[in-house]
Structure 1
């Protein structure tokens, strides 16, 4: 019956709140809050997370949000994000375009960004951080990303008010030892701490924190803190017996610190290291003492050898995720030790390890039967048949990434296609020996493939995409720089992949309007498209695409001589959901700029 409320009259508040908690999408939650005043109030009560970017008056914004969302447990403040505040929160009023926008909150505080203190008001201050502590009494997690105006005084004030805090991220904040020590004294339930780029910290602050909350600390991240040395890690090893995750990026840390952690933190599950001064001695200790290790990532190591990986293979039987990046002295022998000793491995990434080649990959295929993701980047010693054992042994492989592996060709891709039929993601970039034959095999055998990227593989043409279109239902496709692909290949994708949501066809010189028409007809779910450097696409193709793909949110179309001001105007006016258009500045008319200036991004700007 028209005008009869079939929901509010029946459902109690508790049930509506529970429904809102299961709506994860923020736009969907916002839409729900617009239904009626009751739903608006209940939706605000159900929210537990807010994110705040750089704004004119973050302190006032914190107070405003706390009055509207009383049950917030997670607060993220990131001053790298440029987010403008609404001009007013009350009644609408006219604002002259000749002067900067100046708003006023209901509590009377200004939103002005001008004046002598304009810089200060655009950053969260100590008083604003204090307001976070006062306002969000249920707060469990706080992230302060590059909040440069927050000092030790503000952090102490906050810590004294939020003693139930469990997670703290201080990335890029200029806080010192006294502020961190206050956290250790007051926040005795702290579990996660991130200190990336906290340049003002020394061993004194971190040691005092560990003394206060070391028993509960489970995750610690330290990067680019030049005054934090082995002394801090020794304290971590002594007091943080429950530590499960350590991420360390330092040119100062030596073996002594990591040895202390390995011996003292036997529950360690995640270890990420970028420490140029650590050698085999420390990593061998990890293999001996950290028997619960599940993830190991080693970056830019120049002083350890296969002996370290041999120890990892012997001791860390639960290892599931291994990343080796720019580790110059590792060879096939070390990778073989890990593959043979860690049967639980599911993710392996080898990046720029120039002494690892075909034999190492064969060991992975032979022993790592549970492997689900493999990434090989800049591995020049891997030969054409390197992936044959992967295809035979890794039947559960779902994702394969290949970048600048010049020796890998069609034979390897055919082996993967025939053996790894559960493959869902295939990314290949600048592997110039891969051609139509390998990709055709993928289309014939890998029916679950949804994400395909073939960037700058210049031997791949239309025949490959025709096979993919006939055999797979793609959601993401990137064929940027595959200059042999033209209308026929993209038309096959348009007709065979109706679920396609992302498409990058940049630098395809033979692609024209016919492909755009077919995409409009066959891919109604398309949200993001990149057609830059496509010289044959004109306003006609753009007009058809914009009219048919009603969900389109972003379009990159620079260096397309066939697209004029009219095409740009069509895109921004026809697509109601468009959020970003990348185009040359001279193609944007004054009228288009007035109507959609906020979504236009320019390739070049005036100097």
Structure 2
């Protein structure tokens, strides 16, 4: 007979059953995670996380165990196109995502002036303010695209070419915006802005000592008075007079101010500027580190080419969309740019033989020559390229007036030519390739030959060894 005493018998405790780790213990040891790899972190979470009942639907947020530095490192591994979605997870991820953004294009000036831009993205290094400087209503009317800027206008409001200039923010508003930006983004490396003033540049230079690249739209001589305050400026783009958008003047005075203030300049681009010989000469003498000069939409005074000989360390000269290169070049030029390595001409008018001859004479030391969509480049004009004695690379694209014989007559004189690229030049024919030209092709390191859509030379040369000198590959388009 058994008796029930009312007491429950206690079951023996299994020696294999361990006490579950508490969340507080995990949190105290979070500093060990800083030196752990992602695989180590996964193993620690798997071994330390207490079991969760299957009836529960909410899982604990494991990211709470990660310090900000670790979580930022994880987010950095995700492609930029997907990071924006991560900012929608929670407020913490929203804040961390803002810390990772380095570049921003402002389209709403209020976003900058209210301080929200700086609080949202405190670590910005590149800021473009051009679109934000225009008073424009989004999602209305017509989108106007220009190679300089794009903006929207209401239906019927775009009455004249002066619309852009008439709807720019005032200089005073731009100054205040730059002051707010500089106060919160001391790590700024690149700034793009329009319609600013000397004072606006000084505000930026005072706070952003690391700024290395500056792009000024609607720039004038008076604005450049503040350019010297940027001690580490290396890349500068000046946009002066732009047909269809706005009128502003950068003359020899502005170029001289620039030369005196930016002696560490490495790259300079002049768009719609009206300087001349004196300004280019001053830049060459003062900016002795200048390696690349780009002149776009040339409005320079006659004789400006002569100033290039003072740019002793210039390696690249690039002319873009120039209807004229020099109205009255000095034909008696005896000096050239001694360090020049590359001459690049894009969408330029090359009809004036005297101008092209002066340009080629100035750049005769170039080793790389590029012609892209240049008007007037026929056999007669191209024959002047024999002035280049040590060309290693020639790239022709969109030169429809040049023929096979015109090309051959020049490049056979270039005994150091190694790279030849001919694209979309419809008057250069496969059938007109002479034995001498074929022999030249066989000696090249690289040949890219696609003068027109009917060209079959590239495929027919496969396996012949042409273009494979020295074990190099034959490059086909």
TM category, shorter:
0.5 to 0.7
Within 5 Å, which residues of 2 pair with 1:150-169? Answer: 156-157=92-93, 159-160=95-96
In structure 2, relative to structure 1, the CA distance for the partners of 1:142 and 1:371 (3 Å cut) is farther
Query: Is structure 2 residue 344 aligned with structure 1 residue 401?
Result: yes
In structure 2, relative to structure 1, the CA distance for the partners of 1:464 and 1:552 (3 Å cut) is closer
Q: 1:300·1:325 contact (CA, 8 Å) conserved in 2? A: yes
Q: 2:303·2:326 contact (CA, 8 Å) conserved in 1? A: no
Query: Is structure 2 residue 341 aligned with structure 1 residue 430?
Result: no
Within 5 Å, which residues of 2 pair with 1:199-210? Answer: 201-203=111-113, 204-208=115-119
SS at match of 1:313: helix
Within 5 Å, which residues of 2 pair with 1:204-603? Answer: 204-208=115-119, 219-222=126-129, 224-225=131-132, 229-238=174-183, 240-241=185-186, 243=188, 245-249=189-193, 256-274=199-217, 276=218, 279-287=220-228, 289-299=229-239, 301=241, 302-306=247-251, 307-327=253-273, 329-330=274-275, 333-353=278-298, 355-365=299-309, 367-383=310-326, 386=329, 392-402=335-345, 403-409=347-353, 412=356, 416=360, 420-432=364-376, 435=379, 438-439=382-383, 441-442=385-386, 445-447=389-391, 449-453=392-396, 455-456=398-399, 458-465=401-408, 467-468=410-411, 471-481=415-425, 483=427, 485-489=429-433, 494-497=438-441, 498-506=444-452, 517-518=460-461, 521-523=464-466, 554=477
Give the Å deviation of 1:463. Answer: 4.2
Partner of 1:144: 80
The Cα RMSD (Å) is: 4.6
SS at match of 1:445: coil
Unaligned runs of 5+ in 1: 1-65, 71-126, 161-178, 527-548, 555-607
Q: 2:349·2:375 contact (CA, 8 Å) conserved in 1? A: yes
2:102 equivalent among 193, 200, 222: 193
Give the Å deviation of 1:404. Answer: 1.8
Deviation track 1:47-105 (CA, whole Å, cap 9, x = no partner) reads: xxxxxxxxxxxxxxxxxxx989x9xxxxxxxxxxxxxxxxxxxxxxxxxxxxxxxxxxx
Q: More displaced, 513-522 or 295-304?
A: 513-522
Give the Å deviation of 1:255. Answer: 5.7
The TM-score with structure 2 as length reference comes to 0.60
CA distance in 2, matches of 1:487, 1:133: 65
Q: 1:437·1:464 contact (CA, 8 Å) conserved in 2? A: no
CA distance in 1, matches of 2:320, 2:270: 10
Deviation track 1:168-208 (CA, whole Å, cap 9, x = no partner) reads: xxxxxxxxxxx74xx3xxx7xxxx82002665943322343
Give the Å deviation of 1:505. Answer: 0.6
CA distance in 2, matches of 1:337, 1:234: 31
SS at match of 1:285: helix
Give the Å deviation of 1:331. Answer: 5.0
Give the Å deviation of 1:348. Answer: 0.8
Deviation track 1:353-373 (CA, whole Å, cap 9, x = no partner) reads: 3x31441111112x1011111
SS at match of 1:317: coil
In structure 2, relative to structure 1, the CA distance for the partners of 1:413 and 1:518 (3 Å cut) is farther
Q: 1:320·1:346 contact (CA, 8 Å) conserved in 2? A: yes
CA distance in 1, matches of 2:103, 2:459: 46
SS at match of 2:339: coil
In structure 2, relative to structure 1, the CA distance for the partners of 1:477 and 1:433 (3 Å cut) is closer
Deviation track 1:413-445 (CA, whole Å, cap 9, x = no partner) reads: 587379634512332532415535745754972
In structure 2, relative to structure 1, the CA distance for the partners of 1:224 and 1:430 (3 Å cut) is same
In structure 2, relative to structure 1, the CA distance for the partners of 1:386 and 1:294 (3 Å cut) is farther
By relative contact order (CA 8 Å, sep 6+), the higher-ranking structure is 2
The TM-score with structure 1 as length reference comes to 0.49
SS at match of 2:325: coil
CA distance in 2, matches of 1:136, 1:266: 26
Partner of 1:97: none
Q: 2:333·2:362 contact (CA, 8 Å) conserved in 1? A: no
In structure 2, relative to structure 1, the CA distance for the partners of 1:550 and 1:150 (3 Å cut) is same
CA distance in 2, matches of 1:257, 1:521: 63
CA distance in 1, matches of 2:201, 2:351: 37
CA distance in 2, matches of 1:466, 1:342: 39
Q: 2:304·2:326 contact (CA, 8 Å) conserved in 1? A: no
Give the Å deviation of 1:394. Answer: 0.6
CA distance in 2, matches of 1:441, 1:321: 26
The size of the alignment, in residue pairs, is: 365
In structure 2, relative to structure 1, the CA distance for the partners of 1:247 and 1:404 (3 Å cut) is same
Deviation track 1:382-403 (CA, whole Å, cap 9, x = no partner) reads: 3488496888321221111223
Deviation track 1:338-359 (CA, whole Å, cap 9, x = no partner) reads: 3343233211111113x31441
Give the Å deviation of 1:139. Answer: 6.1
